[in-house]
Amino acid sequence: MRVLVTAGPTREYLDEVRYLSNASSGKMGYAIVSAGLKLGWEMVLVSGPVDLPPPPGCEFHPVVTTREMRDASVEAFDQCDGVIAAAAVCDYRPIVRVAGKLSKTGNPVTIEMIETDDVLAELGTRKQNRWVVGFALEAQNPRENALQKLRRKNCDWIVLNSPAAIGADSNQVELIAADETTQATWAGSKSEVADSLVHWIAENRERGHG
Ligand code: CTP
Ligand code: CA
């Protein structure tokens, strides 16, 4: 079993020193990598910038921008049996990346942005006989929105967690299948939730790639 995990935030640069990002700690994704290694799986970690060391024994691909995360993930996915997308990808990027450093003018500024690549959706279109697990963090209509994401990104399962999880050590999640059924709910530290998730996948992965 060889599994790709995306983790951490991505950064999108306005100029050479300023970027847009989010507060993802990477803890959930790194815990999933550690959990997979404990099961004896080969784990490939594609991670944005975080303050955590890569779990010893994983294949580590550090990235910064969403495009880098997309390219590294698409390449790694070819050799994997499945993917767990725990990254908190930056959704927008400035259309223009200014060379050097923008200077203050004393006036308001408007930055035009477009959506970044959807890494998970791209892997979903390429999945063939592999299983795909997404994450969803929803403030409103959590189940409905999570299911929409599952379908849009061609996932087999989606892990719904609450916004309180960002940067926290613990987590409460629901695992939802493409047929809208709740497969499991887990609460605990991110490492406990990660262990439960990979054990569940180990036992149920044949039901994926639908
Ligand atoms: N994801 C991704 N690439 C993106 C955006 C999201 O791979 N550009 C993945 C995340 O890693 C996660 C899933 O898609 O597994 C859902 O992420 P989320 O941010 O909840 O969904 P979005 O599609 O970005 O929608 P929105 O943020 O508007 O709710
Ligand atoms: Ca998003």
ipTM of the shown complex: 0.99
Tell me the best of 20, 66, 91 to mutate to test the pocket of ligand 1, counting ligand atoms within 8 Å of each CB and taking the most.
91
Q: Over the chain, what is the mean pLDDT?
A: 95
Q: Is residue 37 part of a domain?
A: yes
Per-residue pLDDT, 154 = 97
pLDDT category of residue 170 using cuts at 50, 70 and 90: confident
Q: Which atom of ligand 1 is nearest to the CA of 136?
A: 20
- Note down the domain range covering 163: 2-97+111-207
22 is catalytic: yes
Mean pLDDT calculated for residue range 60-88: 98
When mean pLDDT is compared across 28-42, 84-98, 112-126, 158-172, the lowest value belongs to 158-172
Q: Is 102 a domain residue? A: no
Ligand 2 centroid distance, CA of 105 (Å): 31
Tell whether 31 is covered by a domain: yes
Q: Is the CB of 73 under 6 A from ligand 1?
A: no
Give yes or no for residue 119 CB within 6 A of ligand 1: yes
- Residue 91 Cβ < 6 Å to ligand 1: yes
CATH number, position 87:
3.40.50.10300
Q: Do residues 112 and 35 touch, judged by C-beta distance below 8 A?
A: no
Q: CA distances (Å), 77 to each of 26, 65, 95, 125, in order?
A: 20, 18, 28, 12
Residue 104 lies in a domain: no
Split into its structural domains, the chain has a count of: 1
Query: Could you tell me if residue 73 is inside a domain?
Result: yes
Distance (Å, rounded) from C-alpha 18 to C-alpha 37?
A: 36
Answer yes or no: pTM beyond 0.90: yes
Structural domain includes residue 105? no
Sign of the Cα pseudo-torsion (59, 79, 28, 22, in order)? positive
User: Does 103 fall in a domain?
Assistant: no
